[in-house]
Structure 1
Amino acid sequence: MWFLRYLAVMWNLLTRLPRLMDGIYPEESTSGALALAPLVGLIMGCMVGLVSIPLSWFLPPLVWPLWSAGIYIWLGWSLHLDGLADLCDGLGSGRRGEGMRAVMKDSRIGAFGVMGLILALGSWAGSLGSFPWFKLPVTLGFMGYLGRLSLLSCAWAGRYPWESGLGKVFVGRLGVAHLALGATWGLLALPVLGPVVLVCGPSIAVLLGVGCARWMNSRLGGVNGDVLGAVEVACEAIMAPLLGALWLPM
């Protein structure tokens, strides 16, 4: 069944949890599996939210969001954080094209990469403390969904001109149907979030992903795996405080 195969591809790629199927890896024949990335992000976020509930009860308010971030990072978010750090270093170098890509491929992290991680994690964790404990699972689940939806839209609008790399499996190989399927997973949160949040959140995520793809197509020459990871983290960091503004007053 295509659904289980695609789900296994995304689950094995995006999480550190036990594999769903052995020998299932991203390849050109499974490029459409990226449409299930928002669903995996939703599940991951819900899991972190459930663990965060007891943390919020017993740990100080400035501490437990950092522990939640640590759990999320261990669960698989580290893959995207690495991309954010690389992209920040590339942008900070002031270079373009292959010169920028060479900086991003350097395994060492620079000052711009460090600051990018601090700002992103600070926004994510700092916003987390503003949500009531009983809203944490659905809030973090929705944030995880939005981040992967932004990643999906970036891959849909981007191009991949290089000969190798993980991004080659997904970037430029997706259609509108894949984007639409990825967006529908947010409907699972409709009974809790309501229509306003459910419309505004995905719209911002898609616009961010498409805008980043067009920028990187011009600045870098295309969209690679680092760009996909960076846009995922950026989306969650931006949406965390916005969700508080959109949802908490209701």
Structure 2
Amino acid sequence: MKDTSTPKTARGHAERVVRFAQMFNVRDLGELRTSDGRRVRPGRIYRTDDPHLATDADAAALGALGITTVIDLRTPDEIEQRGTKRWDELGVRWISRPLWAEVPSIEHAHRYHDPKMTAELYGEMHEANLAAHAGLWRAFADAGTHCTAVHCASGRDRTGIVVALLLSLLDVGREDILEDYAMSARGMRRMLAYMEANFPPEVMASWNLDKEAMVLTPPEAIGHFLDWVQWRHGGIGGYAKEIGITDLVPVLQENLLEG
């Protein structure tokens, strides 16, 4: 993959992807439409994977996006292992908001082969640290009108959950939420290809990866998760009320939507 010093960001579904050499799952949430016809402001919020493998050119391109706040969903162990070097170099405001207490285990890999089981796993991730969710959304709200990035390790699961919830709070249509989630498949395939080309075979073998599971992001999985939110909380409004952020929803909409 060719490095570029300036990221190429286009406007609409797959064209929202920002291409890097060694970041694999980055896209702008801008242009997604709400039920009343508004849209998410372009260049306001990005979902990414962990930039610990980013090249110097990637880091320069990442800086060119204008990100000022980063919300990191990784566990403390992941942060200790991989660090925050690229974000530190960019001088951003880095905020740790773990969505899960433990590093995701390979024992869950089989659950990705069934979208309903994937959604059940996402429900467990969602519930695991529910008391901290208000702080998560406060961090988004406090970012104001500045450019924000949110990421976990691969940018698929924990980031996928948070983005699905965020877009629901913004009243983005379900079809667009599902499509955005499914877009991670290409990034996951790029990540797997990089690992196979650059990591020692014995390391790859020791991880015992389920390579098929690693790249699965069927839209039905996040759809079932949204159905679970409906069952568990009575919908996104019930979720906001339960965790005490109803006052933040109009703030998020004001900051992130235009039109």
> What band does the TM-score fall into relative to the shorter chain?
0.3 to 0.5
So what's the TM-score if we normalise by structure 2? 0.32
The structure that is strand-richer by fraction is 2
